[in-house]
Structure 1
Amino acid sequence: MTGATALAGLRPGPWLTFGIRRLARFAVSLWVLVTVAFLMIQLIPGDPVRAALGLTAPAELVQAQRAALGLDHPIWQQYLDYLGGLLHGDFGTSMLTGLPVSDVLGDRLPATLLLALPAYLVVIAVAIPLGLLFAVLTRGGRRRHTELTFTSTTILLAAIPEFLVAVALVAFFSVQLGWFPVAGRDGVGSLLLPVAALALGPASVLSRIVRVETLSVLGNDFVRTARAKRLPARLVYLRHALPNALTATLTLGGLLLSGMLAGTVLVENVFAWPGLGATIARSILQKDYPMVQGIVLVYGIGVLLMNLVVDVLLAVLDPRSTIRES
């Protein structure tokens, strides 16, 4: 049964229940994330303001900064003020620059999205066709050498950290060949190497997952039936095998792509990319905790939204089993 037929056969009730449960789970996860972000400053040993301003800062300046940040209030009041500020788009104030954190986030977030979103698209566009192709080529134990080459290559590429890939790309394509800018954000050319550094490892891992899941699906009875009907190979693989293989692939792939957010921090610093990754690294070194707090919150929300999107896609591809399990 195709996803469209199964979807049409379901009543609105299960979908409504599915939506409510997923949104409730998202809301609870978001509350936990916000609470953890708030506790970041509270759990820092000593005085976070003193740590940020330095041991030689006058006591009056430290006290004034604590008052400006509301850190002289009881913790329950600080928590309520923090929640209220977030509801109004207020992520706090930088300890060092005095600028609203939301202004910095609004300035830096587009640069990170400009890097991360193309990398996600490259991973999907490369990994799914590649995994499907090698599953078809090596099905039934065929072409052992091809399977060994594919597996060995993807394992090697996936094992290399993003920052090492980034350094190698810069050394070869920028320094030696001079084809791309070494660092900074200056047109499409400056985007290609960071995107490649981010996408290479995840694409390698995801292509292996797609291959394994496709091989599993190709052994099922409904694929044998489709072949017995002498359907074109293109229809067998794309209409019958691939949608079923993507169900399990999306579950693991969603976790994999969420991990790419952490990779942007390292890659942005290698390429001096003016995004959130470079900003959070600098803020950690400078002990600008409200800035770190805001950026961690943005990254966490990005992961939660990605997981929510994956859940919805799984429900569309396999509505009956996904909704019943919810």
Structure 2
Amino acid sequence: MAHSTETMDGPSMARQLAARFINLKFIEILMNRLIGMIVMAFSISVLVFLLIRLVPGDPVIEMLGSQAASEELAARLRGQLGLDKSLPEQYWNWITGVMHGDFGYSYGYQRPISDLVALNMPASIQLTASALFISVALGLLIGAWAAVARNRAPDTIGMGIAITFMSIPSFWLGLLFILLFAVQLQWFPVVGGTSLAGLVLPALTLGIGTMGFNARFVRSSLISTMGQNHVMTARAKGLSRPKVFFRHVMRNSMLPVLTVVGLQLGNLLSGTVVVETVFSRPGLGRLLVDAIMAKDYLTVQACVLIIALIYALSNLLVDLMYPILDPRIARR
């Protein structure tokens, strides 16, 4: 009796086993990171909930202004806002609402916080994306220029530029840009808006401030790759310098840089707090500063939690892209 069996050669079976293992590894990484994000979000929510209440001042007094002398009115408003409850009760009411997508009501702006976030988030994303492009592009150019001319004048100049901009605080750099390009040269508006002209100076301030770190990391990554065996072999085969650099050096150096870019995304988003305030630009950072000044507890808690979650999500995406860009990582 003839049996029809489906045979599989060795390479095909190895590919299927490798694909299955990579999928399991991917799921394992995803689950670990998601659990870490949940723990991180809970910790930050508790921390910001407690810290904002240590800020001197009473939000009810801030809201009432000249009417704050009325104890009855203040007590009634405190009860409406839930500020008369114990801290555990206040936190539980807030966090359960957040888990259902409700960040609460801003008593400073007199509107739902979700509406405020939806109104200001696009401007912050626009600024962060523009600054990230400037930071990565200039960092790659200066870092590659310094690595190719290692220990020569371009290397010294490039790293000098990187260290200089790393050392300048973003608020001071922003003020210098306003003085030079907006007041003296009048190329751009003093107050940054959502237009393209109003975006240039804030994006340059935020991007150039982090460009130096990217340039230094790109330089060290490229120099490390240049000394590896496969690069020396490519040179020995007679390949041209540009072909060796772009095909063998640059491609193998970008994976570590990807991690830095993921971290920079979170840093840039948190940096919008200073830059948006300096340029009087709308955004999540400006909303956070105004909420702190107004003792608007729920708005501060929502802004900090959202920024932290975006930071964690950007790092999660980087971790998940690693096995895709370099399958060797998935097999470890």
The residue type equivalent to 2:132 in the other structure is Y
Structure 1 residue 318 corresponds to structure 2 residue 329: no
Alignment of 1:204-283 (within 5 A): 204-283=212-291
**RMSD between superposed Cα atoms in Å:** 2.7
Aligned mate of 1:69, from 49, 62, 81:
81
Q: Distance in 2 between matches of 1:166 and 1:7?
A: 54
The residue type equivalent to 1:306 in the other structure is S
8 A Cα contact 1:210 1:249, kept in partner: yes
8 A Cα contact 1:41 1:48, kept in partner: no
Aligned mate of 1:126, from 119, 126, 138:
138
Partner of 2:107: helix, strand, or coil? coil
The one-character-per-residue Cα deviations of 1:133-161 (angstroms, maximum 9, x if unpaired) are 321232xx4xx222111111211121111
Q: Distance in 2 between matches of 1:182 and 1:283?
A: 23
Q: Which moved more, 1:196-205 or 1:31-40?
A: 31-40
Q: Distance in 1 between matches of 2:45 and 2:127?
A: 25
Aligned mate of 1:36, from 47, 60, 63:
47
Deviation at 1:190, TM superposition (A): 1.1
Structure 1 residue 101 corresponds to structure 2 residue 113: yes
Q: Which moved more, 1:249-258 or 1:201-210?
A: 249-258
Task: In structure 2, list runs of 5 or more residues that go unmatched.
Answer: 1-14
8 A Cα contact 2:132 2:264, kept in partner: no
Q: Which residue of 2 aligns with 1:111?
A: 123
8 A Cα contact 2:206 2:275, kept in partner: yes
Q: Distance in 1 between matches of 2:48 and 2:17?
A: 42
Q: Which residue of 1 aligns with 2:204?
A: 196
Q: Which moved more, 1:72-81 or 1:85-94?
A: 72-81
Deviation at 1:7, TM superposition (A): 12
Q: Distance in 2 between matches of 1:252 and 1:276?
A: 23
The one-character-per-residue Cα deviations of 1:279-310 (angstroms, maximum 9, x if unpaired) are 22222222222222221112111211122122
The residue type equivalent to 1:248 in the other structure is P
The residue type equivalent to 1:205 in the other structure is F
Deviation at 1:9, TM superposition (A): 4.2
Q: How many matched pairs?
A: 315
The one-character-per-residue Cα deviations of 1:224-254 (angstroms, maximum 9, x if unpaired) are 1122222343442223222332233333443
Deviation at 1:52, TM superposition (A): 5.8
Partner of 1:172: helix, strand, or coil? helix
Aligned mate of 1:165, from 147, 170, 173:
173
Aligned mate of 1:24, from 17, 29, 35:
35
The one-character-per-residue Cα deviations of 1:8-61 (angstroms, maximum 9, x if unpaired) are 945222222122212222222222222323334555578654466569342223
Aligned mate of 2:295, from 287, 293, 303:
287
Q: Distance in 2 between matches of 1:238 and 1:129?
A: 13
Output the TM-score relative to the length of structure 1: 0.86
* Bigger Rg over Cα: 2
The residue type equivalent to 2:100 in the other structure is H
Partner of 1:287: helix, strand, or coil? coil
8 A Cα contact 1:202 1:257, kept in partner: no
Check 1:7–1:213 CA distance in 2 against 1; reply closer, same or farther (3 A cut). farther
Deviation at 1:273, TM superposition (A): 0.4
The residue type equivalent to 1:147 in the other structure is D
Check 1:287–1:79 CA distance in 2 against 1; reply closer, same or farther (3 A cut). closer
Partner of 2:98: helix, strand, or coil? helix
Q: Which residue of 1 aligns with 2:26?
A: 15
Check 1:68–1:240 CA distance in 2 against 1; reply closer, same or farther (3 A cut). farther
Check 1:41–1:192 CA distance in 2 against 1; reply closer, same or farther (3 A cut). closer
